[in-house]
Structure 1
Amino acid sequence: MVFGIEHKVKSHRTGRRRKKGGQKMPVAPWIVITLVSVLVASGLTWGFVALLRSGCSGDVYRVTVAAAPSVFGSLGDAAQEWEREQPELNGECVGVEVTEVSAADASRGITGSWNAMSFGKRPIAWAPDAQVWASWMTSSEATAGYVSSEPVALGEAGSVLAVAESTATELGWIGGEPPTWAEVVSAATAGDISLAAANPRSSTEGLVALLNASSDGAGGFSQEASDAYAAAIEAGSSAADGEGLKNAYIEAADASQVMTMLDYQVEDFNSTSDSADPLVPVTPSGSTVSAVASYMVLGGAAWVSETDAQIADMFGEYVAGQVSSGAFSDPELKPIDDAAAALGQATPEAVGAAVRAWQSGAQDLNVLFLLDWSSAVMEEHVEYEGDTVEAGIAAVRVAVDMIGEMEPTWRAGLWEYGVGAGDDVNWRSVAESAEMSGDAKSGLTQTLYDLSEEAVFEGGAPLYDSLVAAYADMNANLVEGAANVIVVLTNSGEDTASLPTVGETAEALASMAGSATVYTVGFGEANAENLTQLAAATGGEFLPAPSEGGVLGAIAPA
Structure 2
Amino acid sequence: MSRHRALRAKVRRGIAKWPVLIVVFVVLIGLGWLVFSWAGGVLDSRARALAQNCSEGDSVLRVAATPSVAGAVADVARAWSATRPVVYDHCIAIEVTSADSAAVLDGLTTTWDSNKLGGRPHAWLPDSTLWANRLSALNAKLVGAAPKSVGTSPVLLAAPEAAAPVLKDFRWSDLPEVTDWSKFGQSWGRFSVAMPDPSANTASALAIQSALAGGKGPVTAESLGSEASKAKLTKLAATVPPEVPPTTREALRRLGDSATVNAAGFSVTPVSEVDLYKHNTGKEAPSKPLVGVLPVGPAPVADFPYIALGGPEVGEAEVRAAQAFREFMTQPAQQKILASGGLRVESTQDRPSPSPGISWTAVTENLVPADATTTQQISSAWASADRGGQVVTVLTDVSTSMKPRLDKVKAALRGQVDRSVSGAFGLWEFARDLDGSKPYKQLVATGPVAEKRDALRRSIDGLKTADGSQLYTSLAACYETAHDGFVAGRINRVVVITDGASDGGIDLAALKSRLHGKDLAISFIAIGGEVDKDALNDIAQTTGGSVSVVENADGVDAALGQVLSTKA
TM-score, length basis structure 1: 0.52
Gaps of 5+ in 2: 1-35, 182-188, 349-364, 392-490, 496-512, 525-533, 544-566
Which amino acid is the alignment partner of residue 433 of structure 1?
G
Aligned mates of 1:408, 1:147 — CA distance in 2: 30
Question: Does the alignment pair 1:120 with 2:130?
Answer: no
Hey, what does 1:255 align to over in structure 2? 261
Return the letter of the residue paired with 2:250: G
The aligned counterpart of 1:298 is 309
- 1:165 paired with 2:172, answer no
Deviates more, 1:66-75 or 1:438-447: 438-447
Cα distance in 2 for partners of 1:327, 1:249 equals 30
Alignment partners' CA distance in 2, 1:292 and 1:186? 28
Pair 1:241 & 2:214 matched: no
Amino acid at match of 2:62: T
Shift of 1:243: 2.4
The verdict on how the C-alpha distance between 1:212 and 1:63 changes in structure 2, with shifts beyond 3 A counting, is: same
Distance change >3 Å, CA 192–CA 158, structure 1 → 2: same
Structure with the largest fraction of strand: 1
Displacement of 1:327: 5.6
Q: 3-state SS of the aligned residue for 1:122?
A: coil
Q: Which segment drifts farther, 286-295 or 214-223? A: 214-223
CA–CA distance in 2 between the matches of 1:181 and 1:323?
35
Aligned to 1:409: 493
Match of 1:106 among 95, 99, 104: 104
Gaps of 5+ in 1: 1-38, 366-406, 412-428, 449-555
Determine whether 1:219 maps to 2:305.
Answer: no
Whether 1:334 and 2:344 are equivalent positions in the alignment is yes
| Residues 173 and 210, structure 2, Cα contact 8 Å, conserved in 1 | no
Residues 460-491 of structure 1, C-alpha deviations (whole Å, 9 max, x = no match): xxxxxxxxxxxxxxxxxxxxxxxxxxxxxxxx
Matched letter for residue 219 of structure 1: P
Relative distance call for 1:150 and 1:324 in structure 2 (3 A) is farther
Change over 3 Å in CA distance of 1:75–1:165 after alignment to 2: closer
- C-alpha spacing 1:262/1:408, structure 2 compared with 1 (3 Å): farther
8 Å CA contact retained: 2:160, 2:255: no
1:305 deviates by 3.9
1:412-491 → structure 2 map (5 Å cutoff): 433=517, 435=521, 437=523, 442-443=537-538
Deviations 1:356-389, CA, capped at 9 Å, x for gaps: 1122345679xxxxxxxxxxxxxxxxxxxxxxxx
**Kept after mapping to 1: 8 A contact 2:171/2:295:** yes
SS in 2 for 1:238: coil
1:152–1:296 CA contact under 8 A, matched in 2: yes
Contact residue 329 and residue 335 of structure 2 kept, 8 A: no
Distance 1:444 1:430 in 2: 11
Aligned to 1:85: 83
- Name the larger-Rg structure: 2
Mapped to 2, the partners of 1:228 and 1:247 lie a distance apart of: 26
Q: CA deviation at 1:444?
A: 7.7
Amino acid at match of 1:273: P
Offset from partner CA, 1:412-432 (integer Å, 9 cap, x none): xxxxxxxxxxxxxxxxx9985
Distance 1:43 1:205, change over 3 A: same
Q: Which residue of 1 aligns with 2:377?
A: 353
Residue from 144, 151, 156 that aligns with 2:147: 151
RMSD across aligned positions (CA): 4.3
TM-score (structure 2 length as normaliser): 0.51
1:415 is matched with: none
Distance between the aligned counterparts of 2:330 and 2:275, measured in 1?
A: 26
Q: Secondary structure at the match of 2:92?
A: strand
Cα deviation for residue 204 of structure 1 reads 2.8
Are residues 1:96 and 2:94 paired? Answer: yes
CA distance, structure 2, for counterparts of residue 223 and residue 323 of structure 1: 46
CA distance in 1, matches of 2:539, 2:124: 25
CA contact (8 A) 1:205 1:241 kept: no
What is aligned with 2:408?
none
- 1:309 alignment partner, one of 312, 319, 322: 319
Paired with 1:440 and 1:118, the residues of 2 have a C-alpha distance of: 26
Contact (CA 8 Å) 1:323, 1:329: kept in 2 or not? no
Aligned to 2:60, which of 56, 59, 62?
62
Distance 1:115 1:106 in 2: 10
**SS of alignment partner, residue 310 of structure 1:** helix
| Aligned counterpart in structure 2 of residue 319 of structure 1, from 304, 319, 329 | 329
- Give 1:182's match in structure 2, choosing from 150, 153, 173: 173
Structure 1 residue 333: Cα displacement: 1.0
Q: Aligned-pair distance for 1:202? A: 2.6
d(CA) in 2 for partners of 1:274 and 1:192? 25
AA in 2 matched with 1:244: E
Which one-letter code corresponds to 1:232 in the other structure? T
**Aligned AA (1:202):** A
Q: Is 59-68 or 82-91 further displaced after alignment?
A: 82-91
Q: Deviations over 1:4-59 (max 9, x none)?
A: xxxxxxxxxxxxxxxxxxxxxxxxxxxxxxxxxxx9xx999969967986843464
Give the distance between the partners of 2:278 and 2:318, measured in 1 at CA: 37
Residues 185/48 of structure 1: CA separation in 2 closer, same or farther (3 Å cut): same
* Residue aligned with 1:123, SS: coil
Q: 1:444 to 1:333 in 2, by over 3 A?
A: farther
Look up the SS of the partner of 2:63 in the other structure: strand
